[in-house]
Amino acid sequence: MAEDEIKSFLANMKLVYQHGVSHSKNKARLHRFLAIHNCHYVVEQIIRERAKDMTFKGGPLQKIGFEVIIKRVNKKKTIQGYNYLLQLNKTRNDAEHSNMMPDADAVAFYVRIVGDFLRWSCKEYFGVDFESLAFEDRIYDIPIRNRMIEAKSLIEKEDFHGASLKMYEALGAFKFMWFSFLTDIRFENIKATSEPEYSLAEAFADFAFKIILSEDEATLEEFSKIKTALMKVDDKITGVGSRYLVPLFKDKEEANKHHENILNIILTYQDRVPNSIWRKKE
């Protein structure tokens, strides 16, 4: 593959893996299955790509089983986490063909193993830095995209406070864009509780969030930290705003983890609402 094709291929593998990570945070049976499926898919596609210059008995590469291929590739150069990846292959086969599902701890373990393999294989097989496979350009909303790009740049400069401000500004904006779509302003003048600032319109939007994210506790928890409400001037609605606490990061690893998590939330859920709501300019 040409260099741009390699990067596109690896970016897609990273995105599939990130979706697996997202599924792994939910302990429900279906999500555990999807996490294992995504992780195995990533490993198999990378190993098959690596094996394209090898010859196998039994026909073309697409007809050769994964276990045969990975064993052959490992003989050429030891694969990071090789034995665990063989176990992952068996676990995936048991789940898909025998309905034997791994528990949540096993899923979390394999997610970590595949993450390490993905980082290693990007560099070892393709000469590409895993962290350079950025997804910010896949964010539909331009201001949110720009804040995430700025946050990434600040992390590289080790300005962790500035990076935290930018990435949580992006997540806050992502939530208020969703909120503006879910809120019905016809109910704004009806109070949901004794609190004068909390309307029925806002209560309905919060309830809608809980329904949409009911199977993704991690994302629901992140969103619950952000207080989003209709903004008013002289009792006239002027827009939507978010308030949130900005965490402090102790090092680059922790900052990158938060950045990756927020980016994953945005990419996973931006298609759940009409594309027309996203802003096309700063």
Q: What percent of the chain lies above the pLDDT cut of 90?
A: 44
CA distances from 170 to 151, 236, 272 (A): 9, 26, 17
Rounded distance between C-alpha atoms, residue 152 and residue 158, angstroms: 10
- Indicate the fold that domain 3-129 takes in CATH: Four Helix Bundle (Hemerythrin (Met), subunit A) (1.20.120)
- Predicted pLDDT of residue 104: 94
Rounded distance between C-alpha atoms, residue 156 and residue 256, angstroms: 9
- Predicted pLDDT of residue 197: 64
Pairing of strands 227-233, 236-243: antiparallel
- Predicted pLDDT of residue 16: 92
Residue 232 belongs to what H/E stretch?
strand 227-233
What DSSP designation does 191 have?
B
Main-chain phi, psi angles of 234, to 5 degrees:
55, 45
Q: What percent of the chain lies above the pLDDT cut of 70?
A: 88
- CB within 8 Å of 221: residues ≥ 6 apart: none
Per-residue pLDDT band at 44 (split at 50, 70, 90): very high
Q: Record the tokens describing residue 144, joined without a space.
A: 């949110």
- CB within 8 Å of 231: residues ≥ 6 apart: 237, 238, 239, 240, 241
Residue 199 has pLDDT above 70, yes or no: no
Per-residue pLDDT band at 74 (split at 50, 70, 90): very high
Task: Write down the pTM of the prediction.
Answer: 0.66
Residue 187 has pLDDT above 70, yes or no: no
- CB within 8 Å of 3: residues ≥ 6 apart: none
Domain parsing of the chain, residue ranges: 3-129, 136-277
Residue 121 has pLDDT above 60, yes or no: yes
Rounded distance between C-alpha atoms, residue 218 and residue 210, angstroms: 12
- CB within 8 Å of 145: residues ≥ 6 apart: 136, 137, 139
Higher pLDDT, 250 or 41: 41
**Measured torsion, CA atoms of residues 260, 248, 252, 12, in degrees rounded to the nearest 10:** 0
Residue 108 has pLDDT above 90, yes or no: yes
Distance of CA 70 to the CA centre of its chain: 27
- CB within 8 Å of 202: residues ≥ 6 apart: 183, 188, 192, 228, 229, 230
- Predicted pLDDT of residue 236: 66
Per-residue pLDDT band at 136 (split at 50, 70, 90): confident
Beta bridge partners of 191: 199
